[in-house]
Structure 1
Amino acid sequence: MTDPVIIGSERSEAGLPTGMEVLSRGGSALDAVEAAMRRCEDNLADHYVGTGGLPNAQGVVELDASVMLGSSRSFGSVGALRGYPNPISVARAVLERLPQHCMLVGEGAALFAEENGFTTAELLTDEARALWRAQLLAAGAAESAKSVEGENTAAVAGDRRYRSESLDLVRRLAPHEGPWGTINIIALDAAGEMCVGVSTSGYPFKYPGRVGDSAVPGAGNWCDLRAGGAACTGRGELSMRGGTARTIVELMAGGEQPAEACRLGLADAATLPDEFRAELRALALTPDGRHGGAAGQFGSVYAVMTTGSTEPELHPRAVL
Structure 2
Amino acid sequence: MKDVILAVHGGAGKKAPADLEDAYRAGIEEALRAGQRALDNCVDAVEAAVLALEDNELFNAGKGSVFTADEGHELDASIMRGSDQAAGAVAAVRSVRNPIAAARLVMESTPHVLLAGLGADDFALSAGLVTVTPDYFSTKHRYQQLMEVKGTVGAVARDTSGALAAATSTGGMTNKLTGRVGDSAVIGAGTYANSVVAVSATGDGEVFLRGMAAGTVAALMEFAGMDVTEAAAEVVFTRLKALGGTGGLIALDREGTLARPYSTPGMFHGYLTADGTIGFFG
TM-score class, shorter-chain normalisation, is 0.7 to 0.9
Per the alignment, in what secondary structure is the counterpart of residue 208 of structure 1?
coil
Q: Deviations over 1:256-315 (max 9, x none)?
A: 23232111012112212x5xx5x22112111111111111146646311023225x3136
State how far apart, in whole Å, the 1-side matches of 2:50 and 2:98 are.
8
Q: Deviations over 1:127-159 (max 9, x none)?
A: 625642x456xxxxxxxxxxxxxxxxxxxxxxx
**2:87 corresponds to 1:36:** no
State how far apart, in whole Å, the 2-side matches of 1:107 and 1:202 are.
17
Aligned amino acid, residue 171 of structure 2: S
Q: CA deviation at 1:76?
A: 0.1
The change in CA–CA distance for 1:66 and 1:188 in structure 2 (over 3 A counts) is same
Contact 1:52 1:124 in 2 (8 A): no
Q: How does 1:118-129 map to 2 (within 5 A)?
A: 118-125=129-136, 128-129=139-140
Q: How does 1:272-287 map to 2 (within 5 A)?
A: 272=243, 277=245, 279-287=246-254
Contact 2:4 2:252 in 1 (8 A): no
The change in CA–CA distance for 1:60 and 1:261 in structure 2 (over 3 A counts) is same
Q: CA deviation at 1:73?
A: 0.7
The change in CA–CA distance for 1:34 and 1:300 in structure 2 (over 3 A counts) is closer
State how far apart, in whole Å, the 1-side matches of 2:257 and 2:66 are.
34
State how far apart, in whole Å, the 2-side matches of 1:135 and 1:299 are.
17
The change in CA–CA distance for 1:184 and 1:131 in structure 2 (over 3 A counts) is closer
Q: How does 1:295-314 map to 2 (within 5 A)?
A: 295-297=262-264, 300=267, 302-309=269-276, 312-314=278-280
The change in CA–CA distance for 1:255 and 1:60 in structure 2 (over 3 A counts) is same
Equivalence for 1:52: 64
Q: How does 1:139-178 map to 2 (within 5 A)?
A: 173-175=147-149
The change in CA–CA distance for 1:135 and 1:174 in structure 2 (over 3 A counts) is closer
Q: How does 1:90-109 map to 2 (within 5 A)?
A: 90-98=102-110, 100-109=111-120
Contact 1:85 1:123 in 2 (8 A): no
Q: CA RMSD in A?
A: 2.2
Considering only CA atoms, is the larger Rg found in Structure 1 or Structure 2? 1
**2:256 corresponds to 1:243:** no
The change in CA–CA distance for 1:126 and 1:29 in structure 2 (over 3 A counts) is closer
Q: CA deviation at 1:126?
A: 8.5
Aligned amino acid, residue 109 of structure 1: A
Corresponding residue pairs, total: 262
State how far apart, in whole Å, the 2-side matches of 1:119 and 1:127 are.
17
Aligned amino acid, residue 29 of structure 2: E
Contact 1:76 1:95 in 2 (8 A): yes
Higher strand share: 2
Contact 1:84 1:123 in 2 (8 A): no
- Give the TM-score normalised by structure 1: 0.76
Aligned amino acid, residue 114 of structure 1: L
Equivalence for 1:181: 151
Identical counterparts, % of pairs: 33
Aligned amino acid, residue 45 of structure 1: L
Q: Deviations over 1:86-134 (max 9, x none)?
A: 0000000000000x210000011011011101121135459625642x4
State how far apart, in whole Å, the 2-side matches of 1:101 and 1:285 are.
26
Aligned amino acid, residue 219 of structure 2: E
The change in CA–CA distance for 1:43 and 1:300 in structure 2 (over 3 A counts) is closer
Equivalence for 1:9: 9
Equivalence for 2:241: 270
Following superposition, which runs of at least 4 residues in structure 1 exceed 3 angstroms of deviation? 10-14, 122-127, 297-302
**Most deviating of 58-67 and 87-96:** 58-67
Per the alignment, in what secondary structure is the counterpart of residue 294 of structure 1?
coil
Aligned amino acid, residue 314 of structure 1: F
**2:194 corresponds to 1:224:** yes
- Give the TM-score normalised by structure 2: 0.86
State how far apart, in whole Å, the 2-side matches of 1:97 and 1:280 are.
32
Contact 1:79 1:106 in 2 (8 A): yes
